[in-house]
C-alpha cells in the first residue's frame, strides 16, 4: 500500500491549526454581537432566533451519516489502487442525502404550526413570525444537509483552507446580519430570510470547491448502485447516532421553552453558547484526524496508534485551562459580558456546563475512533438508549430544579458517555499498561481544577490560586505526559520560530 502523503504529520497539524482559526474567529463575532442582539430584540425573540440557529446547526448534521461515510470511504481510497471509485461515491452519496433531506423538509414544514401553537410557550404576538420563520428554515434543510456532505468530501482531501474560509463567513453572517437588520426591523422572518439566502450562496461555494478539487466529478456524473451498500452499511447506524446524539444535546432547550418560557432559554442557551466554544479545539483537531484515522487503521496500524495516543493527550491538555478558567471566573465573565442581572441568573449554570463540556470534549477521542474503525452501530445504540432516558429525567428535573438542574444533568450525561465510549474503544485498540496509568493520573490532575472556583473566594484569591494550579498542571504535564520525541519536536519548532524573528 502506498502511504498517503496528505496524511503526513506536518499536514495534519497545519490543517488542525487552520481549522481552529476558522472555528475561533466567528466566536469573537458572537461575543460582540449577542449582547447587542438581545438588547435590540428582547429575550423572547432572541430565544426564538437561537432556536433557529440551533435548527440550522442540527440539520447540518442531518445527512443520515452519509457525509461522514463519504469522508471515510474517500480517505481510504486516496492514492490507493481503487481511487477511480471516488467520483461514483461522491455522486451516489450526494443524491441519497438530497432525497432524504427533502423528505425531512416536508415533515418539518408540515408540523411547525402544530408545535409552535401547542408545545412552545411563545406569546401570541410572536407566533405568526415564529411559524413563518420555521417554514422558511424547512426550505433550507436540503441545502444545509448536502453542504455537510460536500464539506465531508473536502475534508477527506484535507482541503481545510477553503473549508475554513467558508466557515468563517458563515459564522460572521449568522451574527452580523441580525445585528444589521435590527436597525431596520425586528421582524424575525426578515432576519431568517437573509440567513437562509446566505446559506444557499455558501452551499454553491462548497459545490464549486469540490468540482475544482476533482474535475473528473463532472465527467463521471453517475448514480452507481454498487456504492449504495458500502455507503449505507456505514451511514445507516451513523445516521441514527447523528440524529439522536444532537437531539440529546439540543432537546433540553426545547423542553425549557415548553416547561418554563422562551425567555428562560436565553439564560441557558447563552452560557451554553459561550462554553461550548471550547469544543472548537477538539472539533478542529478531529475533523482533520478522522480521515487519517480511517486510512491508517486500514492500512498503517502504527500510525493509527500514534495518532490515537497523541489526540487523547492533546485534547485533555488543551481543554483543562479553558474549562478551568471559565469555571473559576464564571460570575465575572457573565457580569462583564451581559451584566449583573444575567450573571445572577446563569453563573451556576455556566459552572456546571463548563465541567460537562470538558467531558464532552474528551469524548471526541473515542467517538471519532469508533467511527474510523467502522463500528458506528455501538454509537447508534448508545444514543437510542440515552435519549428517552434523558427526556424523562428532564421532565422531572426542570419543574423542580430549573436551569441549574438541566445543567447538572448535562454534566452527568456527558461524563457517562465519556466513560462508556472509552471502555468500548479499549476492546479494539490495545496500549501498554503505563499508557492507561498516565491517562488516569492526568484525569485526577484535571479533577483538582474545580477547587479554586468551588469556594467563595475573592477575585484576587482566585487569580492567585489559578496561577498556582496552571503552573503546576503544565509542569507535571511536560514532565510526565509529553513523550521525549514530542518534547524535541516542540523545542525545535520553538527555536526555528525564534530564529526567523
Using the predicted structure, report yes or no on whether residue 420 has a pLDDT greater than 70.
Answer: yes
Residue 119 phi/psi, 5-degree rounding, is: -115, -45
Of residues 8 and 230, the one with the higher pLDDT is 230
pLDDT higher for 9 or 290?
Answer: 290
Q: 297-343, pLDDT tens digit by residue? A: 765 566 777 788 788 888 888 888 888 888 888 888 888 888 888 88
What confidence tens digit (pLDDT) does each residue in 273-304 have? 888 888 888 888 888 888 888 777 765 566 77
pLDDT in the model for residue 1: 44
Is residue 122 over pLDDT 90? no
Query: What per-residue confidence (pLDDT) applies to 434?
Result: 65
- Neighbour-count burial of 313, counting CB atoms closer than 10 A to its CB (0-12 exposed, 13-18 middle, 19+ buried): buried
Mean pLDDT value across the chain: 81
Which pTM was predicted? 0.74
The span from the CA of 501 to the CA of 493, in Å, is 13
Give me the pLDDT at residue 59, please: 64
Contacts of 333-339 with CB under 8 Å at 24 or more apart are: 333/274, 334/271, 337/31, 337/35, 337/274, 338/35, 338/38, 338/270
> Can you give the pLDDT at residue 409?
93
Is the distance from CB of 256 to CB of 398 less than 8 angstroms? yes
In a 10 Å sphere around its CB, with 0-12 CB exposed, 13-18 middle and 19+ buried, how is residue 321 labelled?
middle
* Domain boundaries defined on the chain: 5-487
Distance set, CA 171 to CA 24, 53, 90, 483 (Å): 10, 11, 26, 37
Cβ partners under 8 Å of residue 258, min gap 6: 119, 120, 121
**In 119-221, which residue ranges form alpha helices assigned H by DSSP?**
124-156, 160-182, 188-213, 216-219
The 10s digit of each residue's pLDDT in 158-214 is: 888 888 888 888 888 888 888 888 888 878 788 888 888 888 888 899 999 999 888
Query: The dihedral of CA 99, 101, 104, 108: what is its sign?
Result: negative
SS3 126: helix
Q: Read off the pLDDT band of 2 (50, 70, 90).
A: very low
Long-range Cβ contact pairs of 295-302 (< 8 A, separation 24 or more): 295/4, 295/7, 295/75, 295/76, 295/78, 296/7, 297/372, 297/373, 298/76, 299/1, 299/3, 299/76, 299/80, 300/1, 300/3
For the ranges 230-234, 413-417, 423-427, the one whose mean pLDDT is highest? 413-417
Share of the chain above pLDDT 70, in %: 88
- pLDDT, residue 357, reads 92
Residue scoring higher pLDDT (384 or 305): 384
HSE, side-chain direction, 13 A CA sphere, residue 299: 19
Query: Do residues 308 and 369 touch, judged by C-beta distance below 8 A?
Result: yes
Amino acid at each position: 500500500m502506498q502511504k498517503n502523503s496528505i496524511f503526513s504529520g506536518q499536514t495534519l497539524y497545519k490543517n488542525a491549526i487552520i481549522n481552529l482559526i476558522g472555528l475561533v474567529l466567528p466566536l469573537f463575532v458572537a461575543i460582540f454581537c449577542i449582547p447587542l442582539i438581545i438588547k435590540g430584540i428582547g429575550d423572547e425573540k432572541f430565544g426564538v432566533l437561537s432556536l433557529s440557529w440551533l435548527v440550522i446547526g442540527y440539520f447540518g448534521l442531518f445527512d443520515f451519516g452519509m457525509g461522514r461515510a463519504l469522508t471515510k470511504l474517500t480517505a481510504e481510497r486516496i492514492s490507493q489502487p481503487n481511487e477511480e471509485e471516488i467520483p461514483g461515491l461522491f455522486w451516489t452519496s450526494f443524491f441519497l442525502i438530497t432525497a432524504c433531506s427533502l423528505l425531512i423538509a416536508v415533515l418539518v414544514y408540515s408540523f411547525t404550526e402544530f408545535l409552535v401553537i401547542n408545545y412552545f410557550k411563545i406569546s401570541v404576538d410572536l407566533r405568526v413570525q415564529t411559524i413563518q420563520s420555521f417554514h422558511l428554515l424547512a426550505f433550507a434543510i436540503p441545502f444545509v444537509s448536502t453542504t455537510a456532505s460536500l464539506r465531508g468530501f473536502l475534508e477527506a482531501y484535507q482541503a481545510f483552507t477553503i473549508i475554513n474560509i467558508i466557515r468563517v463567513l458563515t459564522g460572521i453572517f449568522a451574527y452580523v446580519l441580525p445585528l444589521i437588520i435590527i436597525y431596520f426591523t425586528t421582524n424575525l422572518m426578515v432576519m431568517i430570510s437573509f440567513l437562509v439566502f446566505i446559506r444557499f450562496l455558501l452551499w454553491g461555494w462548497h459545490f464549486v470547491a469540490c468540482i475544482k478539487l476533482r474535475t473528473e466529478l463532472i465527467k463521471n456524473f453517475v448514480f452507481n448502485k454498487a456504492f449504495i451498500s458500502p455507503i449505507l452499511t456505514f451511514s445507516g447506524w451513523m445516521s441514527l447516532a447523528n440524529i439522536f446524539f444532537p437531539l440529546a444535546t439540543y432537546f433540553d432547550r426545547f423542553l425549557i421553552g415548553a416547561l418554563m418560557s422562551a425567555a428562560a432559554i436565553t439564560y441557558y442557551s447563552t452560557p451554553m453558547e459561550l462554553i461550548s466554544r471550547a469544543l472548537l479545539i477538539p472539533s478542529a483537531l478531529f475533523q482533520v484526524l478522522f480521515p487519517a484515522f480511517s486510512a491508517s487503521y486500514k492500512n498503517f496500524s502504527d500510525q493509527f496508534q500514534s495518532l490515537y495516543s497523541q489526540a487523547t493527550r492533546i485534547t485533555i491538555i488543551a481543554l483543562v485551562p479553558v474549562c478551568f478558567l471559565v469555571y473559576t471566573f464564571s460570575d465575572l465573565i457573565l457580569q462583564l459580558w451581559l451584566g449583573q442581572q444575567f450573571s445572577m441568573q446563569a453563573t451556576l449554570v455556566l459552572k456546571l456546563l463548563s465541567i460537562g463540556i470538558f467531558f464532552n470534549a474528551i469524548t471526541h477521542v473515542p467517538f471519532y475512533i469508533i467511527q474510523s474503525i467502522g463500528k458506528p452501530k455501538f454509537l447508534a445504540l448508545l444514543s437510542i438508549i440515552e435519549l428517552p432516558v434523558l427526556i424523562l429525567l428532564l421532565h422531572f428535573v426542570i419543574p423542580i430544579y430549573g436551569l441549574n438542574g438541566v445543567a447538572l444533568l448535562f454534566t452527568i450525561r456527558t461524563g457517562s458517555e465519556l466513560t462508556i465510549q472509552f471502555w468500548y474503544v479499549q476492546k479494539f485498540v490495545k496500549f501498554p499498561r503505563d499508557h492507561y496509568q498516565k491517562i488516569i493520573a492526568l484525569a485526577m490532575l484535571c479533577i483538582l481544577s474545580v477547587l479554586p472556583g468551588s469556594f467563595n473566594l475573592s477575585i484576587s484569591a482566585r487569580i492567585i490560586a489559578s496561577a498556582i494550579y496552571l503552573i503546576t498542571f503544565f509542569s507535571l504535564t511536560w514532565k510526565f505526559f509529553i513523550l521525549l520525541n514530542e518534547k524535541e519536536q516542540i523545542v525545535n519548532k520553538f527555536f526555528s520560530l525564534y530564529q526567523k524573528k
